[in-house]
Chain A
Amino acid sequence: MTKAKRKRLIYNCITFAIVIIAFIVLQSMIENKTITRALKGQLIPICCWIVMAVSLNLVIGISGELSLGHAGFMSVGAFTGAVVSGYLLHGLGVENETLRLVLAIVGGGLIAGLAGVVIGIPVLRLRGDYLAIVTLAFGEIIRNLVNVTYIGVSDGALVFNFLRKNVPENTRMLVDGASGAVKVAKISTFTAGFVLVLITLVVVLNLINSRSGRAIKAIRDNRIAAESMGVPVTKYKMMAFVTAAVLAGMAGALYGLNSSTVVPSQFTFNQSINVLVFVVLGGLGNVLGSVISATLLTVLPEVLRAFADYRMLVYAIVLILVMIFTNNPTIRAFADRIFAPVKRLFTGKKEAEAA
């Protein structure tokens, strides 16, 4: 095994170990009832945000395209999940909650993936800032469209209205336009969230370290060179974009089924930026970093209530500072010089051993 492969294996093992250990600890805390209420309520959202951050990292860090509409896919997933779960319960009379949750998550992922394909076809032909602004536009379009979508169950059949609400009297509304999905049965579980996080990590980490992942990274590094090597650009950009959309849709379904009301205005541009902050602070292309920053930044505001008012202000400043510190050559060289003795402590030892 080469050195690079060994390093990669260790990194992946650490990532999975951290997630699995965290789950076991939290699960035992739940069983012993030693967990605080506030933290318990945050467990499922944390799982959702981890999945969102890791999937967005696939688009931004690995594929190198700035997507500003990731919350749109979450929205699609959340409302699809609510419809699937609601229809199974009220339309088909399926009582089994686990089955409903699994089907809702799968449905959310599928429909979000479909949205990803529809959006990806025009968007991925563009480059750079244009791509960013168009993904933003799509996120807003999705929100607008959900605002005028009415879906309900009437006599075991699905009723679907667009633009104008026109449903039979006895309809039970599942998605009610701008008021969103109301009276959703809360069926999300922490275990489901954990499994979803594991699936996301397996998919993203294995994808990155495979033939397809290499192609995606090659396109990011140099599009023309990748094309000259016979790598079809659109196919692989699409692969990263749609995979991320599917994962975001699944996270959305889990998120939506964790609260009794879901409104379209929960998934605005601001939410996309929130996830972007997780990704940037965790490190572009660093999956473990995304997991950690998504967890910390979801828990922190809850822990520091007083700080919550300034949360976005601090986010903004940190975002700017991180960008300047990691991208300005002068500041970077300065930081490297300061940290050089610290680095030597670790690397110097190894060199001495080798010599």
Chain B
Amino acid sequence: MLELPKRKNPVLRTRLPTLPPAARSRIALGLTAAAALGRFELQQCRDCGTVQYPPREACQGCLSIRLEWKPQSPEAELLAATVLHHSNDLFFRERLPWRLGLVRLDCGPTVVAHLHERVAPAPSRVIVAAKLDRAGQAVLVALPDKEANMAEDRQLREFTCDPKFRKVLVTDGKTALGQAIVKALAAAGADLIWVGYAEPWKKFAGFDELKPLPQVTLLPLDVTDSKNVREVAAEIGGKVDILVNNAEYHRTYGISNRPGVDTARAEMDVNYFGLLRLAQEFGPAMRSRGADGLASATAWVNLLSIYALANFPPHGTFSASKAAAHSLAQCLRAELRPAGVRVINVFPGPIDDEWNQLLPPPKITPAALANAVVKALQEGVEDGYPGDVAQEWLARWRDNPKALEKELST
């Protein structure tokens, strides 16, 4: 059981972040692509059905090149375990001793996996999952059961961004979604939650409910105001472990139904430039705190939209601003990667709020989306598509992006 980390001694040097070995062959990135979505997939041959690992360019059973990444049963047996007391790599050297297992999957292959401390001595049954490590690459972990909590395990906590004991900034507490996120984070054990709110002279709906939460500190934050963002970052930037950017400006209509660019500019100012301002002011501080003990800087969450993947013409300019934010988030991901700070992009379908009034159900509730954000942090995924609409759009987009564009334009 992990305990709340002690307050750090400000005189001591903050250790610089190191990363586990990140090099992978291109074919092996298939494992990472699935793990980024929280899925466990292995290569399977379309001709003979062989499941294989490590990833290969051809089927080891029949030499077919018709290989695809398919979800596999995580059921497996631990064949042998070891505890490393020596490592040739800095990241692991700083974290020794380190447990590993040789695991036989019921679907065939034998794999090497990081081992949860509650796994019973070999031979024993385990559940294998693919997780992103601090370098953002997929690794396999062996868990004692499906309910095993990775954040409670000293080793596997490295692969999650669990908010427990961590300090979090939620950039907009004025919306129903922002308030739901704050409550979900508090329930998940966040140590301290700063909640931003623009236009502090106006008391917002829900203010009275947030104020008494012991973890919450409200602070004026307007992501369209560079000076204000800089001042807030100067004050708390060196303490933020997780930043959840949910500030959003959302209006309907596309190009021809709304003259001028004022609305589109306002959307870009919050959804795109807001992210850029936050990234420029908070990014460097978080990057320097990637190895700051048990509660190091660990994640940056962007609330995007499923419309970032393909433009939804009835909300056309909003879609464009979210696509721009998505692209910028990829840049941020690359820049935070050397510190092991994960950028998590959440792509919800329409939220059940004012600006989606005319859209038919199902619409995701703020509470459900907030829980999805916390789950993404706990499970350490990189991309989340919460809700039925997002999942359906994602499936259609992955299947054929052009077809989705045509479907959306009619």
Q: Do A and B bind each other?
A: no
* Residues of chain B at the chain A interface (Cβ within 8 Å): none
